[in-house]
Amino acid sequence: MKRIIGAIIIAFVMSTGALAEDGTVRMGSEGYYPPFNYFDSTGAIKGFDIDIGNALCERMNVKCEWVTTDWDGIIPSLNSNKFDTILASMAITEKRRKIVSFTKPYYFNSVRFVARKDLKLKDTMPEDLKGMTLGTQSGTQEVKILNNFYPDSKVKRYPKLDDVLLDLETGRVDAVLASQFVLGEWLKEKGSCCEFVGQAFVDDENLGTGIAVRKNDADLLDKLNSAIDKIIADGTYTQIREQYFSFDIMTHPKKTSELFGK
């Protein structure tokens, strides 16, 4: 009977997402979204998201254990208890809030187009990209934006952003829509073929970038929100941000309804 009761208690603890007995929080991320999360030459996970997560764990007096998985399955992996959070630059949306809970935003991630220089594009409104092949990563807000506002363009979706950028380099894609932060880093390193075109914007449903937890994990959610407040107040957040970006990333950009008028 004691063994049965013990098993029930363990199952309950796991289902409620409580912290492990050793004070460990398993942080879920992807690893293919530089400079937010990426693998270095040794295979270690690095980036802005990772530094923020480690700082939050320090403020919560817990140990971070990083677990990586493919983007397409990251929410199911959270809800099947493979890790305790998603800290992978995930946009907060009402649709996602139905299946996970989010912290307050820890930054706002706008999107922007990069296009091949030889196209000599002046803008990226739907009429400017009519008949062109546009690429983005599957499972992202950018897919919906392209499908909704660019009906006269061919939209190609890829499992990883690296794949779509490779096709942009080789001319199989004319333009790519993704995070302007990530694309900016790519342009610095190997984007001689291409350039930013048009202005940055954000989908109306994008409520900022947050950390996701399971719906029943209110305790961890409260601890994360409190830790976010602490690292902002004591300057840790700014110190981390300045290592990656020279500009404010907490200002909400123009929405799609403002840009496209619908």
Query: In the structure, what pLDDT confidence band is assigned to residue 21 with cuts at 50, 70 and 90?
Result: low
**Do residues 217 and 84 touch, judged by C-beta distance below 8 A?**
yes
For residue 31, which of 87, 80, 109 has the smallest C-alpha distance?
87
pLDDT at 6: 40
**pLDDT computed for residue 184 by the predictor:** 87
CA 93, CA 104: separation in Å to the nearest integer?
A: 12
> Global pTM?
0.71
Per-residue pLDDT averaged across 94-123, rounded?
95
Residue type, 15: S
Domains of the chain with bracketed CATH: 2-108+206-245 (3.40.190.10), 111-201 (3.40.190.10)
| pLDDT reading at 94 higher than 90 | yes
From the CA atom positions of the chain, what is the Rg in Å?
20
78: nearest Cα among 219, 223, 209, 216: 216
Confidence band for 252, pLDDT divided at 50, 70 and 90: confident
The SS3 assignment for 258 reads helix
| Strand 85-91 to 133-137 pairing | unpaired
Q: What is the mean pLDDT of residues 66-82?
A: 97
Split at pLDDT 50, 70, 90, the class of 19 is: low
Helix H or strand E encompassing 9: helix 2-15
Tell me which H or E stretch contains 29.
strand 24-29
pLDDT at position 251, please?
80
Centre a 10 Å sphere on the Cβ of residue 261 and count the other Cβ atoms it contains: 6
CB 249 within 8 A of CB 108: yes
- Give yes or no for a contact between 111 and 180, defined as CB atoms under 8 angstroms apart: yes
Residue 260 main-chain phi, psi, to 5 deg: -100, -10
Does residue 164 or residue 9 have the better pLDDT? 164
